[in-house]
A = this chain, B = another copy of it.
């Protein structure tokens, strides 16, 4: 048990240090090669990677429309209903985020507008890995659908001779996605950024992925003009703040649900009760036994810490310093503490609000800034699928009104032609 106030500042910092995720040069080299090959060979490159990396036997890149349409027939009614329910909640929460244009007159004769334009073409990446992730389709797909993007491309790897998972297809169908590319990794990202015969070129790619995917997103967003990505990626993490009356079983379950994501996940408990720490430890040991991914979860627990703080207030200070992706508050009454919440991706308030509720179905987005980026990046939201631009309309009188600001400033900045663009116009306006 670590007592926050009794360890050195150095140890405190070490406790909040994330596992390093320095991408190797080897990753960068192969991603650069992949990008080049996709640029040159298009679909052929993607087919080659599918065979090589995913052991794919089916030489197709696009899921036929009929398979998407028929996907629900292959789902149990329970799973179909679950996807429907999650979709409905996620849609309700993101629908509330639909932006409104702003228009105002800043000076007589000077009208300014801020307008929203949906990004034309978006790419959604859904990793394959150990399991299909229909929830990841919903989190990205609902936004793409609500903004009305003209082109929505979903890319996901398919393994061996499997068919693409029907839960993925059904989630995509709900979101109105018809372009599904059966390709994964850096190749899929490059295809969406550059375009190939089968993959439309998009302006922005969203979604998580492994180190190759992350590297490809990073490189392409730096080198491909007009192309952007959602946010920097990093391992998943949770920080739980619990008081002395919290339920150790709930805490343990929340820590483990984060730990099972990957061996590089980080979980932290901050509590003002030594007893809670002891009981949580015991509960973790017990619950761990029954998990199918217990070896992953156990590895993640190595990067993790159960920390005794002096007070709940101190816990919020430490949390703000860490900047957790997920922040769970198991407090008798969280309300008085909500103003202390800082630098969190998503917050789960109260004993009955586990992280898995937000991961799937409460309605909030589960694509969140992690690895300390919640100090400056937003959790994924509908506005990430829009861009804003401004419009100004000025009457002759309006320009005259503004000229007393424009001309001295242009002069001060030594920009004659800026002043001249006003002067040639003023000359044509009859003086009142």
Contacts and interface: CB of A to CB of B under 8 A. Distances in A.
Contacts of A409: 79, 82-83, 86, 134-135, 360-361
Interface string A220-239: 00100111100000000000
A257 B361 contact: no
A376 B203 contact: yes
Given A89-B110, A222-B218, A390-B347, A418 B260 contact: yes
Interface string A150-194: 000000000000000001000000000000000000000000000
Copies of this chain, complex-wide, total 2
A291 B392 contact: no
A383 B383 CA distance: 10
Contact of A389 (B78, B297, B347, B416): B347
B405 A292 contact: no
B93 A112 contact: yes
A422 to B, nearest CB: 6
Contact of A393 (B81, B343, B350): B350
Given A106-B92, A253-B421, A362-B112, A132 B413 contact: yes
A353 B422 CA distance: 9
Contacts of A414: 130-131, 292-293
A146 to B, nearest CB: 14
Which secondary structure dominates where chain A touches chain B? mixed
A355 interface: yes
A350 B291 CA distance: 66
Given A346-B390, A350-B393, A415-B260, A424 B249 contact: yes
A290 B402 CA distance: 23
Interface in A343-392: 343-365, 369, 371-379, 381, 383, 386-392
Interface stretch (A31-39, A42-50, A114-122): A114-122
Nearest to A218: B222
A430 interface: no
Contacts of A425: 250, 253, 351-352, 354
Interface string A275-291: 00000000000010011
A371 B107 CA distance: 31
A404 B361 CA distance: 9
Given A290-B420, A362-B394, 10 more contacts: A18-B225, A88-B106, A107-B363, A110-B362, A119-B375, A257-B415, A293-B416, A346-B392, A347-B389, A352-B429
20 contacts: A82-B412, A83-B405, A83-B409, A85-B405, A89-B106, A97-B114, A107-B362, A117-B342, A227-B376, A228-B373, A253-B421, A254-B421, A261-B415, A287-B424, A293-B414, A334-B393, A338-B391, A344-B389, A346-B391, A374-B387
Interface of A: 18, 76, 78-79, 81-83, 85-86, 88-89, 92-93, 96-97, 102, 104, 106-107, 110, 112, 114, 117, 119-120, 130-135, 167, 203-204, 218, 222, 225-228, 247, 249-250, 253-254, 256-257, 259-261, 287, 290-293, 297, 323, 334, 338, 341-365, 369, 371-379, 381, 383, 386-396, 398-399, 402, 404-425, 428-429
